[in-house]
Amino acid sequence: MNREQTNRIRYVLEEILPPALRNTKLYLFLAKHVWGDHVVRLAEFRQNAPFLTPKEYETLYRDHPRVHDETDNSQGCIDKITADIVGDTVCDVGCGTGALLMRIADKRDDIKEMTGVDFVIEDAKSLDRVNYVAAHIEDLPFKDNAFDTAICTHVIEHILEYRVALAELRSVAKKRLIIVVPREREALYTFNPHFNFFSYKHSLLRALHPIPENTNASISGAISTIGKTIDWAIASQSAYCGGGAGSSVLTILSISLKAAVNPLRDRFRTTS
């Protein structure tokens, strides 16, 4: 199954089926016919999120069935990501099977170095062109500005300490950071282990807080929706959409966000 197919299913469940039905025992009964008791386990996983141990968190993800054949990204997202990469060093945080990096490699022969980071799925370890690193997004083992472009697709929705994760991503990205999250509504029973839900563009903007004053209009222009996903990219050195009046605004915004959020990263590293 690919992302385009699951997006159609999600559209019916999230946009057409009333919430009053989605959170009922009847819906749970029907959902268990698809995934059995794992649906209940996912609901309990979300409810107990603040109290989970790292081992419990990792075990759930290792046991969770793979839904998509190769990548969680739709073809539209892959095309946009590939086109928006800047520089010749790329890191995909939460790379999974490494399929996205391989798609990028097929289209961008100017990229000299590709790094994939994950802690559950180790498929990328066997890929010739990928430097695989086993690590958690909240504590990336790289120096600041280590990669021209950092990519993180379908990961932030899984992270309880997502602000720490965002601080880490901003830290390692030298020129561009590309984030993709699903556009999704929260419900009691779902088929995924998501903690964070982004129904609208401004839902993601709240996650990216703090944002300097007088920049909302510019950053809104850097967020786009593709099907049932939200794609965000911000450049440290140049504007997301190229030159023009917005360049300096986005540059200031990116630097300010790093300065504001990096203390969270330092606190996490100190206490973990």
Where does residue 88 rank: exposed (0-12), middle (13-18), buried (19+ CB within 10 A)? middle
State residue 240's pLDDT score.
30
pLDDT of residue 256: 40
Residue 210 confidence (pLDDT): 65
pLDDT at res. 19: 83
Q: Decide: 250 and 234 in contact? Cβ < 8 Å.
A: yes
Do the beta carbons of residue 95 and residue 130 sit within 8 Å?
yes
* pLDDT at residue 182 in the model: 84
Contact, 230 vs 180, CB < 8 A? Answer: yes
pLDDT score, position 177: 86
**C-beta separation of 132 from 122 below 8 A:** yes
Q: Which two tokens stand for residue 225?
A: 């929706």
Residues in a beta bridge with 149 = 90, 176
- pLDDT, residue 235, reads 45
pLDDT score of 36: 92
pLDDT reported for residue 76: 82
Alpha helices (H) in 48-173, listed in sequence order: 54-63, 75-84, 99-107, 162-172
Listed as ranges, residues in the chain with pLDDT below 70 are 68-69, 210-272
pLDDT at 205: 76
Provide Rg for the chain, Cα atoms: 18
Q: Is 115 strand, coil or helix?
A: strand
Domains of the chain: 17-63 (no CATH), 75-271 (3.40.50.150)
Under 8 Å between Cβ of 229 and 128: no
Could you give the CA distance from residue 52 to residue 68 in angstroms, rounded to a whole number? 26
**Rounded Cα–Cα distance for residues 100 and 93 (Å):** 11
Residue 156 burial by CB count (10 A; 0-12/13-18/19+): exposed, middle or buried? buried
